[in-house]
Amino acid sequence: MKKITNLICLLIIISLHSQTHRFIYELQLKMDSTDSDYQKFNMILDINSKEVKFYGRNLFVADSINKKFGNMDNKHVDMTGQIVKRKINTFNNENFINIKFGYYSYKTNDKITWNISKETKQIQDYTLQKATAKFGGRDWIAWFNKDIPFNEGPFKFSGLPGLIFEIYDTKKNFIYNLIKSQELPSIYPTDDFLESNFGNKAIPITEKQKQKLSLEFYNDPFSFERTNFSKTNNNLNININGKEIHTIDELNSQTKNMQEIIKKYNNPIEIDKAIHYKN
């Protein structure tokens, strides 16, 4: 675990003067399970008296810049698939996700049954205790500190008698390490980047509808561009990722390339809910 900075002692952490307890985790993940390299993200866990929110720091940074300059010019699309919020001390999560041009939310119940071990280890001045669980089709190992009175952790990992400092799946596809904490004097507003994505308010759907939308995107990722195809002159003039597309054959080639990318990076944290794309 990296050196933990600004982690406050117990008496300060539970201070009534603080309205948001913010914990920042470094997330290392493999977008493709066969990769040897990791993508790294800083993720924020905000805990207040009513809610828990987990989201990428890049969203927070873009929102902060917008607030500073009074605009909505800075936007960010989450790449982790791990934006969630829930009522404190519950397993009822509201999930947020971008699917092409849309921003959606859907609810899940994600109760985790932990097996707490007597094994402990020392990280700096903190004694951490080991716990294991099965979640999302993966086996997880967590290290928590029972002296910090939050039964919370990154993403949907909650329910232990103390804050999770470190958690990873046994195949090391996802690794979280607590690196920093902050105390904020008020409840931090996330309306512009969590409940909505920089102007696009989340549309409530079901988890089944989310699967359907994801499949539709895979089947025709450039459906919007395809509608611009002129049936009269059979000619396109659109730009996809910096490449000029002029014919339907070129568009079909780009579609196939995008489908290969989607299949390659199909390594969600909840692997038991992974979409099985057809060749």
Q: Position of tokens 């196939």?
A: 256
Q: Position of tokens 């810049």?
A: 65
Pull the structure tokens for residue 51: 């809610």
Q: What is the pLDDT of residues 128-147, one digit of tens each?
A: 999 999 999 999 999 999 99
Domain span at residue 254? 206-273
Q: Which positions ≥6 away from 140 have C-beta within 8 Å?
A: 132, 133, 134, 157, 167, 168, 169, 170
Kindly report the length of the chain: 279
- Does this model's pTM top 0.85? My answer is yes
What's the average model confidence in pLDDT over 194-199?
A: 95
Domain boundary among 178, 197, 216: 197
Predicted confidence at residue 231, as pLDDT, reads: 52
CA 234, 239, 241: angle at the middle one, nearest 5?
135
Question: Where are the alpha helices (H) located in 70-138, listed in sequence order?
Answer: none
Does residue 246 have a pLDDT over 70? yes
Predicted confidence at residue 232, as pLDDT, reads: 45
Does residue 222 have a pLDDT over 50? yes
Query: Is 154 domain-assigned?
Result: yes
Write the Ramachandran bin of 241: left for phi over 0, alpha for psi from -120 to 50, otherwise beta. left
What is the rounded distance in angstroms from the CA atom of residue 67 to the CA atom of residue 74?
Answer: 10
Query: Is 3 domain-assigned?
Result: no
What is the rounded distance in angstroms from the CA atom of residue 187 to the CA atom of residue 49?
Answer: 9
Predicted confidence at residue 168, as pLDDT, reads: 98
What is the rounded distance in angstroms from the CA atom of residue 147 to the CA atom of residue 161?
Answer: 9
Q: Which positions ≥6 away from 121 have C-beta within 8 Å?
A: 127, 128, 130, 143
DSSP, collapsed to helix, strand or coil, labels residue 4 as coil
Contact 153, 142 (CB under 8 A): yes
Predicted confidence at residue 16, as pLDDT, reads: 44
Query: Is 211 domain-assigned?
Result: yes
What is the rounded distance in angstroms from the CA atom of residue 190 to the CA atom of residue 36?
Answer: 34
Domain boundary among 197, 231, 248: 197
Domain boundary among 197, 222, 244: 197
Q: Which residues in 195-260 belong to E strands, given as ranges?
A: 196-197, 200-201, 203-204, 238-240, 243-245
Both 215 and 263 in a single domain? yes
What is the rounded distance in angstroms from the CA atom of residue 152 to the CA atom of residue 129?
Answer: 14
Both 81 and 171 in a single domain? yes
Q: 149 or 24: whose pLDDT is higher? A: 24
What is the rounded distance in angstroms from the CA atom of residue 184 to the CA atom of residue 47?
Answer: 10
Pull the structure tokens for residue 260: 């290969």
Predicted confidence at residue 12, as pLDDT, reads: 45
Helix (H) or strand (E) holding 132: strand 126-135
Predicted confidence at residue 245, as pLDDT, reads: 85
Both 232 and 164 in a single domain? no
